[in-house]
Structure 1
Amino acid sequence: MTSALEELQKDLEEVKVLLEKSTRKRVRDALTAEKAKIETEVRNKMQQKPQERAEPGDSDKPAPVTAGYTVKISNYGWDQSEKFVKIYITLTGVHQVPLEDVQVHFTERSFDLLVKNLNGKSYSMIVNNLLKPISVEGSSKKVKTDTVLILCRKKAENTRWDYLTQVEKECKEKEKPSYDAEADPSEGLMNVLKKIYEDGDDDMKRTINKAWVESREKQAKGDTEF
């Protein structure tokens, strides 16, 4: 079975033969116009991209697999030693990913993690405004079974981090009782004791109750002596 291009080429050859034999001007003009038309069609066919002349069955081939969307990591744990702040991120199967696809970039007050091509997805975690400066050169990562461990080297060793980021510190400080200089000092103390009592364990509550009773007894005794 001949292709469309081959048919056009045959038509073109036949028009050329007829044009050579023709003697009438009107006929020659018509044949010349047809010849130009066929030549244009032949050029267009030959310039078609290979995919436009795909072989039968090409449409049945599976499309290439592309990377999926990026998942933001929000769950993690952290602790510290004298030299390092350690962040633990659990990702099932991460130890099977090529090491070059687990990337961590450090700055003095931040780090960002990118894990590529893990079960058809990428995973990203960005932590800005670390509580204290870190050493970029001394920081690193480790990939363990289902876990990425990020090691932030403390710039000032033997210093304790109460929070991972400055934002966490500010949020916690806002939750602390505020002190009003113009307020009754005893009222401020009561608010502090109330907060400690509500957040404390059973031993703390018993201690506060005992102190409260003793304070009331002393106050009552002082009033009687007066």
Structure 2
Amino acid sequence: MDLTEQINQLEADLLELGSLLEKAKQKRVQELLKQEQKKVEKELAVKRQQKEKQAKREADPSAAAKAAYTVKINNYAWDQSEKFVKIYLTLKDVHNISPENVEVNFTERSFSVLVKDLNGKNHQMTILNLLCPIDLKDSYKKIKTDMVLVMCRKQTTKNWDCLTTVEKQAKEKDKPEVDANADPSDGLMTMLKKIYSDGDDEMKRTINKAWSESQEKKIRGGEGGGAGEDMMDF
């Protein structure tokens, strides 16, 4: 149904609501009809505004060129349920434009969003290398107040640690390497050495002090060893 048909339908609904309101006797029924009347009036105003913009674009081809300026969407949030990964894009007034102006395309490991002619600009984002494959036919978009919600249907109910494989690789790269057969104390020592070597002078003084106090406690406990050893001598 195009905008003209939608406007005609809303105008017909409004006339019928007005007729029912005149006949209604009960106060509660009158209030309910008035509430519905206001909702239809608001929706009708939005559709008429969309129709006016559409007519201006058709009458002035240069308007399309002005709207062709595209900005990249960098900010988003994501969440997940058992069945879906949900990506939230905040875009002011997006609910006021035609739903056809919001395009979302899915592949098994990616999706792209293009919002056309929103406040004189196009808005675009592409997410590649999703952590797990998604189901194309059951993935979809939702348009809410000032927001586009991208619903990616999981192929399995597996929980996603990250949104993309790139993020997962970055996290794993930052993790310290662990030898399953190594002494746990060796792993701790390796970590302390890394913190010491990467730290500033204040950090090194703090670590040396803590190390020194630890060695003194060992001596008092009869475990032997020399106090005051410097981490730099490891």
Q: Which bracket does the TM-score occupy, shorter chain normalised?
A: 0.5 to 0.7
The 1:89/1:215 distance shift into structure 2, 3 A limit, reads farther
Aligned to 1:169: 168
The 1:175/1:96 distance shift into structure 2, 3 A limit, reads same
Cα RMSD after superposing both structures: 3.7
Deviation at 1:180, TM superposition (A): 7.6
Whether the aligned pair in 2 keeps the contact of 1:177 and 1:191 (CA below 8 Å) is no
Whether the aligned pair in 2 keeps the contact of 1:87 and 1:149 (CA below 8 Å) is yes
Q: How many residues align?
A: 152
The 1:138/1:195 distance shift into structure 2, 3 A limit, reads farther
Query: What SS does the aligned partner of 1:161 have?
Result: coil
Counterpart selection for 1:65 from 46, 63, 66: 63
Q: TM-score, normalised by structure 1?
A: 0.56
Separation in 2, partners of 1:192, 1:139: 43
Aligned to 1:13: none
Separation in 1, partners of 2:104, 2:97: 14
Query: What SS does the aligned partner of 1:65 have?
Result: helix
Match for 2:135: what amino acid? S
Aligned to 1:92: 92
**Which portions of structure 1, spanning 4 or more consecutive aligned residues, are displaced by more than 4 angstroms?**
183-187, 193-196, 213-220
Query: What SS does the aligned partner of 1:223 have?
Result: coil
More helix by share: 2
Separation in 1, partners of 2:89, 2:222: 60
The 1:139/1:63 distance shift into structure 2, 3 A limit, reads closer
Separation in 2, partners of 1:161, 1:215: 44
Whether the aligned pair in 2 keeps the contact of 1:130 and 1:166 (CA below 8 Å) is yes
Aligned to 2:78: 78
The 1:162/1:63 distance shift into structure 2, 3 A limit, reads closer
Q: TM-score, normalised by structure 2?
A: 0.55
Deviation track 1:128-153 (CA, whole Å, cap 9, x = no partner) reads 10001111111110000100000111
Match for 1:149: what amino acid? L
The 1:218/1:140 distance shift into structure 2, 3 A limit, reads farther
Deviation at 1:177, TM superposition (A): 1.6
Separation in 2, partners of 1:84, 1:161: 10
Over the matched positions of the two proteins, sequence identity in percent amounts to: 57
1:188 is aligned to 2:197: no
Match for 1:95: what amino acid? H
Separation in 2, partners of 1:187, 1:219: 21
Aligned to 2:16: none
Gaps of 5+ in 1: 1-61, 197-212
Matches within 5 A, 1:10-29: none
Whether the aligned pair in 2 keeps the contact of 1:130 and 1:165 (CA below 8 Å) is yes
Aligned to 2:125: 125
Aligned to 2:54: none
Separation in 1, partners of 2:78, 2:188: 34
Larger radius of gyration: 1
